[in-house]
Structure formats: C-alpha cells, structure tokens
Amino acid sequence: MPRISEPELLHTGLNLDNYPPARLAQVESGVFGFWVFLMSDAVIFALLFGVFGTMIYASVAGAPTPDSEFKISATFRETMALLSSSFTYGLVSLSLKLGARRRWVALWLAVTFLLGAYFLDGEAHDFIDMFHVGAAPEHSGALSAFFVLVGTHGLHVTSGMIWILLMGAQMAIYGLDERVKINFIRLGLFWHFLDVVWVCIFSVVYLRGIVS
Amino acid sequence: MTSFRALRSDFLAYGTGYLLSLALTLGAFSVAYYRLAAPEVSLAVILVLGFVQIIVHMRCFLHLSWQRSAQSDLMLVLFSTLIIALMVGGTLIIFFNLRMRMM
C-alpha cells in the first residue's frame, strides 16, 4: 500500500503502525462514535450555560446570586488540579504508545485519579461553604442554575474517576491488549473533554462573577 | 514499532498544550485577581483567553486537526459548535429581549 494513502494521525495510546487498514478504519469509527457521545454531552452543557446566562443577568426583585460567594483561590487550585490531571492523562496515553510496562501506566493513571479527587474535594468544600452562608439552590434562579451547571460537571468528573478505577481493573485482568487500549483512548477523550468544559466554567461562571 | 519521531511529536504536543494552558489560565486569573482593567474589558479578555485555551486543548490534548484521519472528528465538533451557537445564542437573544421589554 502506498505510504501517501495511509491515515496520517495515529491515536496516541495505540501502536497503529503495523495495523491492517481495515482494522484501523474500525478503530477510527469506534473513536468517532465516542466523539458523537461527547458532542451530545457538549449540547447538554451548552444549554445549561444558556440557562445560567439568562438567570444570572435576568434575575429580578433583588434575588441573591452566586457571584458574591466565589473564592478565587479555591477556584484556582481546582483549575490547576484538573489541568494537570489532563496532562498526566496525556502521559498515560504516551506510556501506552511507547509500549511501557503496566506499572508506568498505572502510576500516571493513579496521579490522574488523585488530581481528580483533589478537584472534587475542593468543589465539595466550595458547595458546603455556599450552603453555610445561605447561598443554596432554592434561593434564586441564578443559584439553581449555578448548582445544576457546576454540579453536572462534578458528576461527570466523578464518573470519569470511576471509569479510571475500572480501567485499572481491566488492565490488571486483561493486560494491555487492543480492546483495553481503545478503552483508554475513549477515557482520554472523556477526561480531556471535561477539562475543556471546566475552562468554560471558570471563565464564564467564576471569573465573570469575580470581575463584575 | 512506533517511531521515535512520532513519540517525540506526541510528547511535544502534550507539553506545549500544558504550558500554553498554564499561561492562559494564569493570565485569566490574574486579570480577575489584580483587577487589571474595567469590569467589561476584563470580562472580554477572560472570555478571549478561555476561547484560545479551548482551541489549545482541542489541538494538543484531543488531537483534532485537518489531517485526514482526524477530519471527521473535527467536522463533527465544528458542526456541533454551530448547533450549540444557534441554540445558546437564540436562547440568550430571546430572553434578553424579553427582559428589555419587561423593564
């Protein structure tokens, strides 16, 4: 087969160099299917952003908003944790592509998990603090929208962490065979996607609230 | 075996993605923390930095590109972005219009 007609991009995480083209197409359509799921998730988040946007500016009768309760240092620490976890997951993918030993993959996977846990812990503390000062979801439309939007993201991170544990189990049971590697690619897309959503959240929700 | 060059370019993608994201995040947070500009200007700067960071993530972490094998993924993302822009933009326009009429 001439070199020029081969797919150029190899998904990090798989050594696809010596794959037959038919198998390669199958892997790619599997990854594409996961992209379709991610985009349906993106629509959910986008509409929650839309609701938040209407609520935060259109609330009437002096109802409380979440803006006054944001703490920039906590948000910054959570952001750094999630961003770094995206990078360490990149190291998981690279270890897989390098054909590294399982313990390297497990190490970076564990670091990713811990950073995710640190993020969720910070977010839970933020929520509890807000409840303590009376900024609960039932007090205004803006607060309801805030908790639904940020809470949905938190639930996604939680499910991503459960998925990380499951991938650790799959790796322990099956080794690093092709199916497991493709699942690692899907988890990677999910995890990096959650970081993209968080970029929107800290820009549109937290930093907007702090500057205005 | 995967060639050394391919691995090196993968590592560079993740590394530059991480460094760029760190810089953009620090930029956005310092605009808010040090109150470097008027609220409207700050908000605009934060949103632009956020937008650039999303593109960096898409390129470096999610490996979207114009290369042939990533093209269908990229097309899907761009189409979804269009749908999202229509839905969210439309929602915001209608509600702000209603709000204006109620004032």
Instruction: Report how far residue B65's alpha carbon sits from residue A138's, in angstroms, rounded to the nearest whole number.
Output: 44
For testing contact with chain A, the best of B9, B43, B60, B69 (most A CBs within 10 A): B69
What average pLDDT score do residues B97-103 get? Answer: 84
Cross-chain Cβ contact A204/B50 below 8 Å: yes
Note whether B14 and B38 are same-domain residues: yes
Phi/psi at A135 (nearest 5 deg)? Answer: -90, 65
Nearest C-alpha of chain B: how many angstroms from A192?
Answer: 6
The residue whose two tokens read 């944790």 is A81
At the fourth CATH level, the homologous superfamily of domain A3-211 is Cytochrome c oxidase, subunit III, four-helix bundle (1.20.120.80)
Q: What is the pLDDT of residue A5?
A: 39
Reported confidence tier of residue A13, pLDDT bands at 50, 70, 90: low
Note whether B74 and B58 are same-domain residues: no
Instruction: Report how far residue A162's alpha carbon sits from residue B20's, in angstroms, rounded to the nearest whole number.
Output: 29
- Among the ranges given (A20-29, A173-182, B47-56), the one the predictor scored with the smallest mean pLDDT: A20-29
pLDDT of residue B12 exceeding 60: yes
Mean pLDDT, all residues of chain A: 87
Reported confidence tier of residue B5, pLDDT bands at 50, 70, 90: confident
pLDDT tens profile A124-149: 999 999 999 888 888 888 899 999 99
Cross-chain Cβ contact B61/A10 below 8 Å: no
Chain B residue closest in CA terms to A48: B88
Note whether B5 and B46 are same-domain residues: yes
A193 contacts in chain B (CB < 8 Å): 62
B2 contacts in chain A (CB < 8 Å): 10, 15, 17, 97-99
Nearest C-alpha of chain B: how many angstroms from A135?
Answer: 22
B22 contacts in chain A (CB < 8 Å): 83
Reported confidence tier of residue A18, pLDDT bands at 50, 70, 90: low
Reported confidence tier of residue A10, pLDDT bands at 50, 70, 90: low
Note whether B24 and B40 are same-domain residues: yes
Q: What is the pLDDT of residue A15?
A: 56
Between B3 and B75, residue with greater pLDDT: B75
Note whether B84 and B43 are same-domain residues: no
Q: What is the pLDDT of residue A8?
A: 43
Instruction: Report how far residue A199's alpha carbon sits from residue A12's, in angstroms, rounded to the nearest whole number.
Output: 23
Note whether B59 and B79 are same-domain residues: no
- Measure the CA dihedral A102/A104/A107/A113, to 10°: -80
Nearest C-alpha of chain A: how many angstroms from B14?
Answer: 6
Among the listed residues A200, A201, A195, the one whose alpha carbon sits nearest the alpha carbon of residue A86: A195
Instruction: Report yes or no: A65 and A56 within 8 Å, Cβ to Cβ.
Output: yes
Phi-psi category of residue B100: left, alpha or beta, with phi > 0 → left and psi -120 to 50 → alpha: alpha
pLDDT of residue A22 exceeding 80: no
The set of residues, in sequence order, having a beta carbon less than 8 Å from that of B31 and lying 6+ positions away, is A207, A211, B37, B42, B45, B46, B49
Note whether B81 and B101 are same-domain residues: yes
A10 contacts in chain B (CB < 8 Å): 2, 6
Note whether B18 and B45 are same-domain residues: yes
B18 contacts in chain A (CB < 8 Å): 83-84, 86-87, 90
Q: 3-state DSSP call for residue A129?
A: helix
Q: What is the pLDDT of residue A25?
A: 78
Note whether B71 and B49 are same-domain residues: no
Q: A90 exposed, middle or buried (CB, 10 Å; 0-12, 13-18, 19+)?
A: buried
Number of domains chain B is built from: 2
- Among the ranges given (A20-24, A152-156, A190-194, B47-51), the one the predictor scored with the smallest mean pLDDT: A20-24
The set of residues, in sequence order, having a beta carbon less than 8 Å from that of A124 and lying 6+ positions away, is A154
A9 contacts in chain B (CB < 8 Å): 63, 65, 67-70
Note whether B58 and B73 are same-domain residues: no
pLDDT above 70 as % of chain A: 88
The residue whose two tokens read 């990229």 is B74
Residue span of the structural domain in which B8 resides: 1-63
Cross-chain Cβ contact A90/B28 below 8 Å: no
Note whether B71 and B45 are same-domain residues: no
For testing contact with chain A, the best of B80, B96, B100 (most A CBs within 10 A): B80
Q: At A123, list the tokens.
A: 């977010």
Instruction: Give me the residue from B49, B77, B87 closest to A50, CB to CB.
Output: B87
What average pLDDT score do residues A71-75 get? Answer: 93
pLDDT of residue A169 exceeding 90: yes
Cross-chain Cβ contact B83/A43 below 8 Å: yes
Instruction: Report yes or no: A197 and A66 within 8 Å, Cβ to Cβ.
Output: no
For chain A, give every domain's residue range. Answer: 3-211
Note whether B71 and B54 are same-domain residues: no
Instruction: Report yes or no: A31 and A186 within 8 Å, Cβ to Cβ.
Output: yes
pLDDT tens profile B34-89: 988 899 999 999 999 999 999 999 999 998 888 877 788 899 999 999 999 999 99
pLDDT of residue A9 exceeding 70: no
Instruction: Report yes or no: A119 and B46 within 8 Å, Cβ to Cβ.
Output: no
Among the listed residues A108, A105, A107, the one whose alpha carbon sits nearest the alpha carbon of residue A175: A105
Instruction: Report yes or no: A14 and A28 within 8 Å, Cβ to Cβ.
Output: no
